[in-house]
Amino acid sequence: MFITGDEALAAARREIKSAIFQKDPMLAPWSDSSLGQPVLVRTVFRQPSYWLVPMLLQERAVGFVRVLETGKVAAVGVHCRDPSQIAACPATITGIDAEEAGRRVQTRVHPELGEMPMAPVFVHDGPPGREAWLIEVLKDDKPTRWIFVTPAFSYERRAGELLDEDRE
């Protein structure tokens, strides 16, 4: 049974309060962070996969807690290394929002050729942690391409084609 966002938040809260978290030199500077609204991360086929709970300081996503569908915490990490540079941290746990992801693919979609982009969906492409916005492109009402958008870059492949992790 897949846990709810509230249950993911509770699991993240327990992890943040744990002694291990408090003693980890990379995580300790962020122990005063609050937790934001969990973001559901889906598979490329749009199935729920896990939750990403943002750690927030000064309205910036300084880190994350990755909570599996069972409620087990799989990972805790930080986006920021220097507490004096919080302003440089992302404003959202996804790096960019869905609207920005949609804007970034506009030049890659060709309506004049019958292509239509679907709404962005936050997914992991391959293993958990390889997160991106997925925009599926339809032509004649059939998926033809998947365009993945991250804060740093975008890439694409045929719709339905899974990542070849051996080539990565």
Residue 39 has pLDDT above 90, yes or no: yes
What integer is the mean pLDDT of 68-86? 90
Rounded Cα distance between 43 and 31, Å, is: 30
What's the half-sphere exposure (Cβ side, CA atoms, 13 Å) at 2? 9
Domain check: are 79 and 117 in the same one? no
From 30, 64, 88, give the residue that closes a domain: 88
φ/ψ of residue 17, rounded to 5: -85, -5
From 88, 123, 143, give the residue that closes a domain: 88
Rounded Cα distance between 134 and 146, Å, is: 7
Whether pTM > 0.95 for this model: the answer is no
Domain check: are 106 and 151 in the same one? yes
Domain check: are 81 and 104 in the same one? no
Residue 56 has pLDDT above 70, yes or no: yes
Q: What is the pLDDT of residue 32?
A: 80
Q: Does 167 fall in a domain?
A: no
Residue 27 has pLDDT above 90, yes or no: no
Instruction: Give the pair of three-digit tokens for residue 72.
Output: 């087990």
Domain check: are 83 and 120 in the same one? no
Q: Which domain holds residue 109?
A: 98-161
Residue 98 has pLDDT above 90, yes or no: yes
Q: Does 116 fall in a domain?
A: yes
Q: What is the pLDDT of residue 31?
A: 75
From 88, 107, 129, give the residue that closes a domain: 88
Q: What is the pLDDT of residue 166?
A: 52
Instruction: Give the pair of three-digit tokens for residue 76.
Output: 């805790």
Q: What is the pLDDT of residue 25?
A: 78
Confidence class for position 79, pLDDT limits 50, 70, 90: confident
Confidence class for position 45, pLDDT limits 50, 70, 90: very high
Task: Find all residues with CB under 8 Å of 148, minimum gap 6, and list them.
Answer: 123, 125, 132, 133, 134, 135, 154, 155, 156
Q: What is the pLDDT of residue 19?
A: 62
What integer is the mean pLDDT of 20-44? 85
Domain check: are 112 and 65 in the same one? no
Q: Does 42 fall in a domain?
A: yes
Domain check: are 72 and 10 in the same one? yes
For the chain, what is the domain count? 2
Domain check: are 13 and 38 in the same one? yes
